Amino acid sequence: MAENTTPSRPHRSDPAGPAAGSTPVSGSAAGSVPVSGADPAPAPPLPWLLIGGLASLVLLWPITALLGLGSGAPRALILVALIGAIWIGVVGLGRVPRPVLVLALTGLAGGVITLVLAAVLGGSGRPWWTHLVALGMDALWGTIAGLLALAVQQLRGGARR
């Protein structure tokens, strides 16, 4: 008779744990063992309503154009400064978790709103790839605003100590 030469696996309740050199696979019957010994705290959920609300501020561009409030570079600079200040102020002073990610997504959502609005109102007639560049730029501006909001949060946290 042949003997079973397959090494036996310890039972989950075995105090010796898994055999030396073995690595438990996540989702396997043996379960998984966290590297640090403790589960990391879950990240707070993203504030999607805040992201959508802040992104909707990009609607100031067509509203100011329809109302005839300025044109050209002065209008653009005022709107960029106003929208940026609101984004940084709300997220920085409001202590929103993960400010860089939140405002990067806000910039991206603002770009999507702009593209949808342009398509509904007649489109831009530009090649498709320019829309990707525009979305990337919107996400970049949001990321920069997020970094500034993070700096505001850190300054406020440091001042309270």
pLDDT at 6 over 90: no
pLDDT score for 5: 56
Token match 């831009």: residue? 124
pTM of the model: 0.71
Q: What is the pLDDT of residues 45-94, one digit of tens each?
A: 999 999 999 999 999 998 998 899 888 899 999 999 999 999 999 999 99
Q: Measured between alpha carbons, how far is 79 from 55 in angstroms, rounded to an integer?
A: 13
Within 10 angstroms of residue 138's Cβ, the number of other Cβ atoms is 23
pLDDT at 160 over 50: no
63 against 123, higher pLDDT: 63
pLDDT score for 79: 95
* Alpha carbon separation from 119 to 6, 106, 135, 143 (Å, rounded): 65, 20, 14, 25
DSSP string, the chain: -----SPPPPPTT-TT-SPTT--PPTTSTT----SSSSPPPPPPPP-HHHHHHHHGGGGHHHHHHHTT---HHHHHHHHHHHHHHHHHHHHHHTT-SSHHHHHHHHHHHHHHHHHHHHHHTT-----HHHHHHHHHHHHHHHHHHHHHHHHHHHHHHHHT-
pLDDT at 36 over 80: no
* Average pLDDT over the chain, rounded to an integer: 81
Reported residue count of the chain is 161
**DSSP character at residue 111:** H
Within 10 angstroms of residue 17's Cβ, the number of other Cβ atoms is 12
Band (pLDDT 50/70/90 cuts) for residue 135 is very high
Domain ranges of the chain: 48-159
Q: What is the pLDDT of residues 124-133, one digit of tens each?
A: 678 888 889 9
Encoded tokens for 99: 């400010």
Answer yes or no: are the C-beta atoms of 32 and 26 closer than 8 Å.
yes
Within 10 angstroms of residue 139's Cβ, the number of other Cβ atoms is 19
pLDDT score for 93: 95
Average pLDDT over residues 116-128: 81
